[in-house]
Amino acid sequence: MSQGHDRVWWKEATFYQIYPASFKDSNGDGWGDLPGILEKIAYIASLGVDAVWLSPMFDSPQVDMGYDISDYEKVYAPYGTVEDVEALIKACHAHGMKLILDLVVNHTSSQHAWFRESRSSKSNPKRDWYFWRPARYDEAGNRRPPTNWRSYFAGSTWTWDEETQEYYLHLYDESQPDLNWENEDCRRAIYDSAMRFWLDKGIDGFRVDTVNKYSKYVDFSDAPITEPGSDVQPAAQFWCNGPRIHEFIREMNGEVLSKYSTFDGLPVVTVGELSMTPEPGGVLCYVSAKAKQLDMVFQFDITHLGQGPPGSDNKYAGTAWKLPQLKRIVEKWQTFIEGTDGWTTVFCENHDNGRSVSRYGSDVPEWREKSAKMLAVCFAAQTGTLFLYQGQEIGMVNAPREWEIEEYKDVESQNYWKEAVRLSEDGTDPTRRERIMRGLQLMARDHARLPFQWNSTANGGFSNGRPWMRAHDLYREINVEVQEQDTNSVLSFWKLLLRLRKDHKDVFVYGAFELLDADNLNTFMYKKQYREKTALVAANFTEEQQPLPEVGDLKLLLSSYPESSQERLHPYEGRIYINY
């Protein structure tokens, strides 16, 4: 039973993710920055969150928005300085919040000094810190990469280096070469530069990027052809959850993380990004407390709803899904911790996905606020550690559909788009361009990266200058200032929910989950149980009224409608009943 779970601070904490480029620009250069975040610390604390996860603010050429790091020990100058991060650590702690940073150590930027050395010659001592392999040649004598693997952002995982006449491996963009964790010196350097440097400054843990990809099958063989007609093939089985992955993460934990504590003397926390691991057993081996690897992970079944298989050329193809699928996913990850010593996370947004209102609710004017609150109910009552992404608390929605592809800045969006144009124009797949555009309009990573909407002034108050990404057309309607004055706003509702989640943390954070009426296409209902305490959650995912659940002697704790009816659930209404 989940009531058996040890109580630890990070299980009960709500984390708030900040994407530094888009949060608050303090100096008008169009980029969010650390002084901007510092200005808004009181706002963040006012939400009732307990910890902040800051996406990468390290020095970087920003090909992949800071997930391509050129120096772990420096801050990207437009964001500020190392001293600004130290000030942020202090400010978070002064407000009773912890701060975690992103740990991006599957790869560096190709501009990182380690890679520059590595690529400088075959005999450089750091040559082996990355994966270098000779070319293959086909019968006609054409040069071919060492394997046929498809990279995340389209194209091959291998890029040819003219200078030293070898290919290097990159699971992501060619500017993001993969570090070779097989090399012990390389691992030690990662621990010192990317981890101890910041832990020594007082951070409280890490969100660990692409955590299950450090270990590859290094015999580098070809993936089977599952996408005929393409010269690159999905190949995750060769580089995801590889043979030494648990050993590496255990070492990182044992040698580094376990030696540190938070500012208030508690264990530091890790939350890993665990993609492409759909089986509970495959997740548990990372997060079982006994395994001493990670505290918890993000698992991505939810964000994959409506997408083609991850790692395929079809991510943005856009497929239909139905509510029971979402419910079964939630059930799987709510219940997999029962009777185990593992832990789970709860989230539906981050910087890599479209906005939840647009994807799982409705972003038309009539329903966007209602569905934002309904989703809030649905997620905030779940067991596990809750993560909130900036803007989710005010119900920010996807970029308008009319926006042209030029407004999409993400390297992944742009690469998919270029590929689609090429395949449409050369006749391989004439309608691909339109299909990919529709997929991007719903699911592109760009939607989460639009400037944060603070108020009704130009650019939503994000910046006095020209923002690096266009501000949403709706910033006058959806913004913090308006919602702070309205006790019925999405923002006020999130604050209330987070307070109730704390007041009843036994049942909300630690309770056992039971899915009700699994096949119902319209409503999502579940029960939570902690000893004698019961909570019942009912969420209407449609624009029509729906029947209420059987509530017995439970009392209404809250509804997302100011006036909730006795008989029916309103359109996009969410409710919680409880027996306290």
* Residues 5-44 as x/- pattern, contact with ligand GLC by CB under 6 A: ----------------------------------------
If one asks whether residue 67 binds ligand GLC (CB under 6 A), the answer comes out as: yes
Binds 360: which of Ca ion, ligand GLC, none (CB < 5-8 Å by kind)? none
The entry of Ca ion, ligand GLC, none that residue 27 binds, CB within 5 to 8 Å by partner kind: Ca ion
Indicate the SS3 state at residue 490. Answer: helix
Choose, by CB under 6 A, the member of 352, 369, 446, 573 that binds ligand GLC: 352
Question: Could you say which of 17, 210, 215, 483 contacts ligand GLC (CB under 6 A)?
Answer: 210
178: contact with ligand GLC by CB under 6 A: no
Does residue 33 bind Ca ion (CB under 5 A)?
Answer: yes
Minimum distance between the CB of residue 297 and Ca ion, rounded to whole angstroms? 32
Sign of the dihedral defined by the CA atoms of residues 364, 366, 372, 377, in that order: negative
Label the pairing between strands 385-389 and 205-208: unpaired
Token pair listed for 545: 């009224």
- The active-site residue out of 273, 295, 369, 446 is 273
To the nearest whole angstrom, how small is the minimum distance from the Cβ of residue 387 to ligand GLC?
A: 13
The three-state secondary structure class of 542 is: coil
Minimum distance from CB of 261 to Ca ion (Å)? Answer: 33
Q: No. of H helices and E strands in the chain?
A: 19, 22
C-alpha dist (Å) from residue 429 to 152, 226, 315 = 20, 17, 16
Q: Which region, judged by CB under 5 A, interacts with Ca ion, from 24-32, 62-70, 110-118, 511-519?
A: 24-32
Give the C-alpha distances (Å, rounded to integers) separating 385 from 156, 271, 369, 465, 530: 36, 10, 24, 37, 16
Q: What angle do CA 262, 3, 278 make, to 5 degrees?
A: 80
List the beta bridge partners of residue 535: 528, 578
Q: Is 412 a catalytic residue?
A: no
Phi, psi of 355 (to 5 degrees): -75, 145
Which of residues 115, 172, 263, 286 is near ligand GLC by CB under 6 A?
172
How far is the C-alpha of 133 from the C-alpha of 206, rounded, in Å? 32
CA distance 287 to 283: 7
Alpha helices in 121-160 (DSSP H): none
Residue whose CB is less far from ligand GLC, 40 or 351: 351
Binding footprint of ligand GLC, residue count (CB under 6 A):
9
* Minimum CB distance to ligand GLC smaller for 64 or for 369: 64
As a whole number of angstroms, the distance between CA 115 and CA 178 comes to 10
Catalytic residue from among 209, 295, 352, 393 = 209
Q: Closest residue to Ca ion, Cβ-based?
A: 33
In the list 3, 27, 159, 522, the residue contacting Ca ion (rule: CB under 5 A) is 27
For the CB of residue 566, give the shortest distance to ligand GLC in the complex, in Å.
45
* Residues in contact with ligand GLC by the rule CB under 6 A: 64, 67, 104, 172, 209-210, 273, 351-352
Any idea which residues carry the catalytic annotation? 209, 273
